[in-house]
Amino acid sequence: MSLPHAILTALLEKPSSGLELTRRFDKSIGFFWSATHQQIYRELSRLEATGLIRALQRTGPVRGQKKEYEVLPAGRAELARWTAAADDPRPIRDPLLLRLRAAAVVGTAGLDGELRRQLALHRESLASYRTIERRDFAPGEEDRGDPLQHAVLRAGIGLEAFWVQWLEETLETLPAPPPEPPA
Amino acid sequence: MSLPHAILTALLEKPSSGLELTRRFDKSIGFFWSATHQQIYRELSRLEATGLIRALQRTGPVRGQKKEYEVLPAGRAELARWTAAADDPRPIRDPLLLRLRAAAVVGTAGLDGELRRQLALHRESLASYRTIERRDFAPGEEDRGDPLQHAVLRAGIGLEAFWVQWLEETLETLPAPPPEPPA
DNA sequence: AGGTACATGTAACATGTTACATGATTCC
DNA sequence: GGAATCATGTAACATGTTACATGTACCT
């Protein structure tokens, strides 16, 4: 039950329409909770039906016309409750680890290349998070930025850094792949 | 599409019935890909229908009677293909990070206790993974255990260690919670 | 009038979760 | 024969993904 709360948070930060939310879920919020516009519209309808948000006044509900939502007091209360509620950490669930386990059974052919590919992608993510950190949380300058938002970003950086290091180590333990045949 | 491949891997390691698979998904495989028995039975039916596995001979298909499956050559081939296929890393998707972002908007009341709870749980997981590592991958003793399986375990250890460290850091940046009222 | 971007939505399906139903085997 | 355990399954629902449908606003 995270998506409704993600939307409540986004709407509290700034009342928005479905499409605007979709764009924000492609950027900052989407770094740790992605959602498509179909999910967002479905969830907006539910949140409105349960009285946690409401649409800002409009003459008639016409398709194709922008519809902005804002959070109602009940929505803010629900979000505050959820923020501090007991909820166990998500168990690890990663297809790449599954694939290593499968490779232990069916062989490592082609695995080396895929691990290098993943490594390159994680290095990219890591670099982009670090750029954001330098931009939004520069040290010294009188603590710009919310410390909680900084903690979230540090989590992203730490996780990407972990994967980079783990992939480098794992590539070393892998048997060398066959050399590329000359063209 | 990871569950079918998780099942193929498990069945290659050892042909099993649905319930036996369920138990194995509560242990080693489940550390990085969990599944309930309902999911497993549903997927076993599909894998059998698509010719990747088959049930070992039985007189009549009776409810309540054990049914063992084994992987067919097509299943092994599909697993090998999937192992080395290009598949982008899973984006981060963690409700706890969402909750921190929400707390930046609705306040940090009660957050401290929940972070400490999460920290305790991650410390437990970390300790249990390290115990397994000492047991199955003791150094020196002529490289017992598959290096790929060891890499998977190192990922679990690294991720739990990351969360422990991150939670410790984050708790320090949090404003102190109100003192407990005396009983 | 046509194209493009904006904006909201439906439909169908895949995956994951929760609750419940049914039968077989073993032990007392 | 009743309880506990083993074992397979159905049903209903929640969540997430993919493809498609419909309408508005603006520019040329």
Please, which pLDDT band fits residue A56 given cuts at 50, 70 and 90?
A: confident
Question: Which CATH number is correct for B3-84, 3.40.50.300, 1.10.10.10, 3.30.565.10, 2.102.10.10?
Answer: 1.10.10.10
Which residues numbered 121-160 in chain B sit less than 7 A from strand C, measured from CB?
none
B36 touches strand C (CB under 7 A): yes
Taking CA atoms, B21 is separated from B72, B109, B118, in Å, by 17, 43, 29
Question: What span, in angstroms and rounded, lies between the C-alpha atoms of B174 and B167?
Answer: 10
Asked if pLDDT for residue A124 goes beyond 60, the answer is yes
- The average pLDDT across B106-119 equals 96
pLDDT digits (tens, 9 = 90+) for A19-51: 999 999 998 899 999 999 999 999 999 999 999
Q: What is the pLDDT of residues B62-72, one digit of tens each?
A: 666 789 999 99
pLDDT band for B145, please (50, 70, 90 cuts): confident
Where are the domains positioned within chain B? 3-84, 95-173
Contact flag A149-B104 (C-beta cutoff 8 Å): yes
Give residue B183's pLDDT: 60
Residues B5/A62, Cβ–Cβ less than 8 Å: no
What does DSSP assign to residue A52?
A: S
Q: Determine, for residues B121 and A83 on separate chains, whether the beta-carbon distance falls below 8 Å.
A: no
Q: What percent of chain B has pLDDT over 70?
A: 89
Lowest mean pLDDT among A45-49, B3-7, B73-77, B139-143: B139-143
For residue A83, pLDDT beyond 80: yes
Could you say which of A12, A121, A169 has the minimum Cβ distance to residue B89?
A121
Nucleotide nearest to A19 (CA to C1'): C7
CB contact under 8 A, B106 and A83: yes
Q: Is the pLDDT of residue A106 over 70?
A: yes
DSSP SS3 for A159? helix
Instruction: Provide DSSP, B65-108.
Output: S--EEEE-HHHHHHHHHHHHS--PPPPP--HHHHHHHHHHHH--
- SS3 labels along B118-148: HHHHHHHHHHHHHHHHHHHCCCCCCCCCCHH
Q: What 3-state DSSP class applies to B6?
A: helix
Q: Which residues contact B20 (CB under 8 A, 6 or more apart)?
A: none
pLDDT, averaged across chain A? 91
State the residue for tokens 């300790």.
B127
How far is B98 from chain A, CA to nearest CA, in Å? 7
Q: Are A114 and B63 in contact (CB under 8 A)?
A: no
Listed residue (A54, A93, A52) closest to A70, CA to CA? A54
Share of chain B above pLDDT 90, in %: 81
Task: Categorize the per-residue pLDDT at A61 as very low, low, confident or very high, splitting at 50, 70 and 90.
Answer: low
Mean pLDDT within B123-151 = 89
Residue B100 CA to residue B153 CA, distance in Å, equals: 28
Task: List chain A residues with CB under 8 Å of B110.
Answer: 83-84
Q: Is the pLDDT of residue A65 over 90?
A: no
